[in-house]
Amino acid sequence: MKKKQSAGILLYRMTDNKLEVFLVHPGGPFWKNKEVGAWTIPKGEFDGNETALDAAIREFREETGHALPGPFYALEPVRQKGGKKVFAWATSGDLDPSTIVSNTFEMEWPPRSGRMQSFPEVSRGAWFDIETASQIINPAQTALLEELSATLS
């Protein structure tokens, strides 16, 4: 079985000489009451039909409704707890979190009810300083924040 892989964008900005990153919170009932370790860079799975960077740009647009112009700077890939490899790129930019519009997915909910419900892939997005982001992001993605901080300092 082929290992799953995702690609995403770590959007950042400087506010009052302080680095901030844009993270999203997954939608759906499983993540509803989870905060610490639940936030992530906007990302999604891809296969060999597109490059990792093309997938990252597409996923950002699908999960936020915003297209980014780049330029994009490759970060070292990370491997999440379940084995999924995450390819990420950093780019500077700004967006208003209240304007994000996410695509949706369907799942049976409640479990074994036979009822299909639609949920947004991303429930919300927000800007965080690096310290806060490091506490709430998926633990494997902390390395992305560290690399970005080191690159910009």
Dist. CA 39–CA 34, nearest whole Å: 9
Written as one string, the DSSP assignment of 62-95 is: HHHS-------EEEEEEE-TTS-EEEEEEEE---
pLDDT for 2 equals 63
Whether the per-residue pLDDT at 4 is higher than 80: the answer is yes
Q: What is the mean pLDDT of residues 91-99?
A: 96
* Pairing mode, strands 85-92 and 5-15: parallel
User: Highest-confidence range of 25-29, 47-51, 89-93, 105-109, by mean pLDDT?
Assistant: 89-93
CATH number of the domain bearing residue 25 = 3.90.79.10
Q: How many domains does the chain fold into?
A: 1
Give the HSE-up count for residue 133: Cα atoms under 13 Å, Cβ half-sphere.
27
Whether the per-residue pLDDT at 123 is higher than 70: the answer is yes
pLDDT digits (tens, 9 = 90+) for 52-62: 999 999 999 99
The domain in which residue 63 lies consists of 5-152
- The pair of structure tokens assigned to 62 is 């699908």
